[in-house]
């Protein structure tokens, strides 16, 4: 029995070593942060799956060494399987959905996503569930089989949307000019330039409200820097409107 337990620890250690070796191989190949993040997510899921399999197999072998026949247990499980089959369907669905999530690279640990109406940072991805922590620190566990749509907010790039309101037609052209100038200034600012991936796109008048006109533009940024760039843009825009005498609603 001691040998079985020892062999289980050895096999688990070997599995972890193989997984770590695979990650180091990918890292030496010059993989980028995105690929390493995907490898880390898959590695965690593989460690979880390997531990589960070893515990189940080891447990049956230990029972056999203790003189407890596993044949009746398996037979009972076979009979009970008919009764619990409907319940097991959801578990199987969760595992299959989790496998597809990893293969299709939909979610990685560290991503900021929205799943089934719950948004937050992904802390853990297993074959069974996804664990999210929202902005208030609340942790949500979402079963993989229940996931119908994933909105990933941290892939490759994002757009910081800028809306500016002016009181009337006289403020439109000066307002649009201010949007362009602030976009150019941010691209040249050493603090914000690394976060900005493209020039400011000024779309023009987005809507006409009773209180005035809404001007809209956007700027391409790193996904995790979207809010930081947008806040700085709006702060500078408020100052530019005041210095130019552009009236708000």
Q: How far apart are CA 179 and CA 165, in angstroms?
A: 12
Query: What pLDDT score does 226 carry?
Result: 92
Per DSSP, helices labelled H in 104-212 are: 172-188
pTM of the model: 0.63
Query: What pLDDT score does 38 carry?
Result: 63
Query: What pLDDT score does 83 carry?
Result: 46
Query: What pLDDT score does 62 carry?
Result: 66
Q: 115-125 pLDDT, tens per residue? A: 988 999 999 88
In our burial notation (b when 16+ CB lie closer than 10 A, e otherwise), range 207-226 reads eeeeebbbbbbbbbbbbebb
Give the domains, in start order, of the chain with CATH numbers: 158-244 (3.30.70.100)
Q: What share of the chain is helix, strand, coil (3-state, %, to 5)?
A: 55, 20, 20
CA 37 to chain centre: 10
10-residue mean pLDDT series, the chain (249 residues): 66 72 66 63 69 70 65 56 57 81 84 91 88 93 90 90 90 92 94 93 90 92 92 93 86
Distance in Å from the first CA to the final CA of the chain: 79
Q: Quick one: which of 167, 162, 142 has its CA closest to 204?
A: 162
């Amino acid at each position: 029995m001691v040998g079985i337990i020892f062999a289980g620890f050895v096999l688990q250690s070997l599995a972890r070593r193989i997984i770590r070796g695979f990650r180091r191989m990918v890292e030496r190949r010059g993989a980028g942060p995105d690929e390493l993040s995907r490898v880390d997510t898959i590695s965690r899921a593989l460690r979880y799956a390997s531990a589960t399999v070893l515990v189940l197999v080891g447990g049956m072998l230990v029972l056999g060494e203790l003189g407890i026949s596993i044949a009746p247990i398996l037979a009972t499980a076979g009979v009970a399987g008919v009764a619990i089959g409907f319940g097991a369907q959801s578990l199987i669905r969760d595992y299959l959905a989790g496998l597809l999530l990893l293969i299709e690279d939909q979610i990685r640990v560290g991503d900021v996503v929205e799943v089934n109406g719950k948004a937050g940072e992904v802390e853990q991805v297993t074959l069974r569930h996804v664990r999210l922590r929202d902005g208030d620190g609340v942790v949500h566990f979402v079963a993989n089989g229940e996931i119908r749509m994933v909105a990933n907010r941290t892939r490759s790039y994002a757009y910081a949307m800028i809306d500016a309101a002016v009181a009337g037609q006289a403020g439109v052209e000066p307002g649009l000019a201010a949007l362009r100038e602030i976009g150019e200034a941010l691209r040249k600012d050493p603090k914000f330039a690394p976060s900005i991936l493209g020039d400011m796109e000024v779309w023009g008048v987005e809507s006409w409200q009773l209180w005035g006109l809404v001007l809209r533009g956007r700027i391409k940024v790193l996904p995790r820097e979207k809010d930081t760039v947008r806040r700085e843009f709006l702060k500078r825009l408020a100052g530019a409107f005041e210095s130019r005498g552009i009236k708000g609603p």
